[in-house]
Chain A
Amino acid sequence: MALKERDAAIVGIHEFPLRNVEGRMTSAQIKAASAERALADAGLKWSDVDALYDASEAGDTTGMALAEYFGIHPRVLDTTAMGGSSYEFHASHAKRDIGAGRAKVALLTYGSTARSDSRAIGTGGGRAGGGSSPLRNMEVSWGQTLIASYALVARRHMHQYGTTPEQLAEIAVVTRAHAMRNPEAVKAMTDLRFRDVREITVEDVVKGRMIADPLHLLDCCMISDGGGAVVIAAPEVAAGCRHKPAWILGAGEAVGYSENGRDITVSAGAQSAPLAFAQAGVRPGQCDIAMMYDSFTITVMTLLEDVGFCGKGEGGAFVQGGRLRFDSGTKPALNTDGGGLSSNHPGMRGIFLLIEATRQLRGDSTSQVPGAALAVAHGNGGQLGGRHAGATIVLGRD
């Protein structure tokens, strides 16, 4: 495969292994521990880092204060905060900044203690916090939870295209199958006291408790602690790293929001993905791996369509029959680490999309697709039915 773009590559990764730190670690400690391991994975040192990207997700010690906490002096600093998709935005910016010659080694980190803090991310009611804003004034009075926003999309998708709960459930089934092959995911589900740590069926999903119609319990991701780190480097640095580079071939960014007359079954991904694939010079159908942000099953259904694996409204038929399993023999394989549904979702899981895509391109996944050469990671942050961000990263190996 002729790879057009070789500005920058992912050369170091680490997924923090614990999903429940039981209040014994802070988010910043998770970030630092993950950074150290990702740099070691690359064969690089703290002092090599000259670009730092952070979503300010962990309070006082992050954002502007993160370089101080780490004790480094980068010359590119980027605190883009786009919810769960922040890390795809960061990868996009790192490619841009390294490509422009402004930096050689970029560090992305994530840390969260959502589980230990008992944060009810999806069902906690309107957004907390004070202050007046038009957004707050037009949204908080009617009980719009985060899950409800995704459920609004799911209901409309069903109405418009005839999508069924069973088709959505297929997505949860395939990611659980991948999770059961991943020891860290199995440990996660065990540590988070899932009732059943086993493969699940479509029936298990659709007979489960309804959280916000039409989304059932198993249509929703877990809430874990966790974090990770990614190191992105210039070609001359990547050449000396321990692993083969996962080249960032293309990147695209977008936001979507509630508008009069907007079709809410179409996400920001419909804008970001074509940009990323055009830059990469490849088509979605060529991708071996699809790392689609799975906050909920409907998120994946929407993103598969918007990223371009199938037409809008065709997602229901597309996901049927285990088609997205790593061993189905058809492209792509979906969320081969087990995803947010069954492996790791501390609130903003975009970094894990980059990490698992890189594992696949290295040949290191627990649900490895033989010869995987091309992957797409699409992050979706915010609320799919309202204000959200989407960023697409296309990755390839030599």
Chain B
Amino acid sequence: MPDASRPLPSFPEPDTQAFWSATAAHELRYQTCRACGSVVFYPRGHCTKCGSRELDSRVSRGEGSVYTYTIVRQNGHPFFSTQVPYVLALVDLDEGFRIYSNVIGLDDPGRDMQVGMRVRVAWEDHGEVALPLFRPA
């Protein structure tokens, strides 16, 4: 019997462990560089602009805009095949980082989805971690 549950992050994985641990408390975390101020995402141990290893972890307000999206209508994966059609989006959070996610809570994605749409994080709990999804703001 194929696993029909949503694929989740797996550990140990040093770069992304802290990000995912914070999700259990519904915190969407990102990093900023103490040396140059750059926003770093996905989470890493160094600044991708200047190489500094002095990074601060901050909590996002969880609000942003849809940079682009697609409505997936075919997926052979045992979980996602039960979810089609679903919205896959790149969301630009207001703090300056971009994340893959799903936009949920739309009656008709083909009609309602727009590039630039304002969205807010909505959490899907999975025990040790919660998955950041987004709803129209």
Contacts and interface: CB of A to CB of B under 8 A. Distances in A.
A125 B11 contact: no
Interface in B10-40: 10-13, 15-16, 20, 39
B11 A132 contact: yes
B75 A260 contact: no
Interface in A114-156: 120, 123-126, 130-145, 147-148, 151-156
A142 B13 contact: no
A264 B92 CA distance: 13
Interface residues of B, number: 49
A261 B13 contact: no
Interface in A252-280: 258-262, 264
A148 B67 contact: no
Contacts of A209: 73
Contacts of A145: 72, 74-75, 80
Interface residues of A, number: 44
Given A138-B16, A142-B88, A155-B69, A212 B74 contact: yes
Nearest to A138: B42
A167 B102 CA distance: 28
Interface in A366-387: 385
B88 A152 contact: yes
Contact of B74 (A126, A153, A211): A211
A214 to B, nearest CB: 8
A151 B109 CA distance: 15
Interface of A: 120, 123-126, 130-145, 147-148, 151-156, 159, 209-215, 258-262, 264, 385
A-B complex: 4 closest residue pairs judged by Cβ atoms = A125-B77, A151-B70, A137-B9, A132-B13
24 contacts: A132-B9, A132-B13, A134-B16, A135-B42, A137-B13, A138-B42, A141-B9, A142-B88, A142-B133, A143-B75, A144-B100, A147-B72, A151-B72, A152-B68, A152-B88, A155-B69, A155-B115, A210-B71, A212-B71, A213-B70, A214-B70, A259-B98, A260-B98, A385-B68
